[in-house]
Amino acid sequence: MNIKVRYFGRFAVALGIYSESIEVEENLKVRELVELLKRLHPELKNEIMEISIDGKYASENMEVHGEVAVYPPISGG
Protein backbone atom coordinates (compact mmCIF):
# COMPACT_ATOMS: atom_id res chain seq x y z
CA MET A 1 0.00 0.00 0.00
CA ASN A 2 1.31 3.42 -0.94
CA ILE A 3 0.79 6.31 1.46
CA LYS A 4 1.69 9.98 1.39
CA VAL A 5 3.61 11.28 4.39
CA ARG A 6 3.83 15.03 5.02
CA TYR A 7 6.57 16.37 7.29
CA PHE A 8 6.23 19.51 9.38
CA GLY A 9 8.52 21.75 11.37
CA ARG A 10 12.00 20.52 12.25
CA PHE A 11 11.30 17.16 10.58
CA ALA A 12 10.96 18.83 7.17
CA VAL A 13 14.09 20.86 7.90
CA ALA A 14 16.08 17.74 8.89
CA LEU A 15 14.96 15.74 5.86
CA GLY A 16 14.97 18.54 3.31
CA ILE A 17 11.55 17.42 2.02
CA TYR A 18 8.00 18.37 2.89
CA SER A 19 6.38 15.11 1.79
CA GLU A 20 7.05 11.74 0.21
CA SER A 21 5.21 8.62 -0.86
CA ILE A 22 6.25 5.38 0.78
CA GLU A 23 5.25 1.77 0.39
CA VAL A 24 3.97 0.16 3.58
CA GLU A 25 2.38 -3.15 4.52
CA GLU A 26 -1.38 -3.43 4.89
CA ASN A 27 -2.63 -3.13 8.49
CA LEU A 28 0.48 -1.24 9.58
CA LYS A 29 0.00 0.41 12.98
CA VAL A 30 0.98 3.99 13.70
CA ARG A 31 3.71 2.90 16.15
CA GLU A 32 5.14 0.65 13.41
CA LEU A 33 5.05 3.52 10.96
CA VAL A 34 7.04 5.66 13.41
CA GLU A 35 9.70 2.92 13.63
CA LEU A 36 9.72 2.60 9.84
CA LEU A 37 10.21 6.35 9.40
CA LYS A 38 13.10 6.28 11.88
CA ARG A 39 14.71 3.45 9.90
CA LEU A 40 14.18 5.22 6.59
CA HIS A 41 15.43 8.51 7.99
CA PRO A 42 18.14 8.17 10.66
CA GLU A 43 17.87 11.95 11.17
CA LEU A 44 14.61 11.22 13.01
CA LYS A 45 15.83 8.37 15.20
CA ASN A 46 15.84 10.38 18.43
CA GLU A 47 12.72 12.37 17.65
CA ILE A 48 9.32 12.33 19.27
CA MET A 49 6.64 12.32 16.58
CA GLU A 50 2.99 13.23 16.66
CA ILE A 51 0.96 11.68 13.85
CA SER A 52 -2.31 12.62 12.22
CA ILE A 53 -4.16 10.66 9.56
CA ASP A 54 -6.51 12.46 7.22
CA GLY A 55 -6.63 15.42 9.61
CA LYS A 56 -7.33 13.44 12.78
CA TYR A 57 -4.95 12.68 15.61
CA ALA A 58 -3.72 9.09 15.28
CA SER A 59 -2.83 7.09 18.39
CA GLU A 60 -0.15 4.40 18.34
CA ASN A 61 -2.48 1.46 17.79
CA MET A 62 -4.42 2.92 14.87
CA GLU A 63 -3.98 1.45 11.43
CA VAL A 64 -2.24 3.60 8.87
CA HIS A 65 -4.21 4.71 5.84
CA GLY A 66 -4.77 7.80 3.75
CA GLU A 67 -2.61 10.89 4.17
CA VAL A 68 -0.26 10.93 7.12
CA ALA A 69 1.14 14.09 8.69
CA VAL A 70 4.13 13.95 11.02
CA TYR A 71 4.79 16.91 13.28
CA PRO A 72 6.94 17.53 16.34
CA PRO A 73 5.68 18.53 19.76
CA ILE A 74 7.12 22.02 20.21
CA SER A 75 7.43 24.09 23.36
CA GLY A 76 8.71 27.58 22.61
CA GLY A 77 6.83 30.76 23.35
Partner 1 sequence: MDRYSRQSELVAQDNLKNAKVMIAGVGGLGASVSALLAMAGIGELVLVDKDKVEISNLNRQILYHEEDVGKMKVDVAKERLNEINNEVKIRAMREKIEEGFKIPEDVDIVVDGLDNYETRFIVEKACIENGIPYVFGAVEGYMGMVSFIDKSTKRLRDIMHKTRTAEAQVLGATVMMTASIQSMEVLKYISKKGDLLRNRLLVYDGLSSNFLEVSV
> Contact positions toward partner 1, by CB under 8 A?
6, 8-10, 12-13, 18, 48-50, 52, 55-57, 59, 69, 71-77
d(CA 3, CA 48): 21
Measured from the CB atom, the residue of 21 and 23 that comes closer to partner 1 is 21
Measured from the CB atom, the residue of 25 and 66 that comes closer to partner 1 is 66
Minimum CB distance to partner 1, residue 68 (Å): 11
Please enumerate in sequence order all residues whose Cβ is within 8 A of that of 50, keeping only pairs 6 or more positions apart, or say none: 57, 70, 71, 72, 73
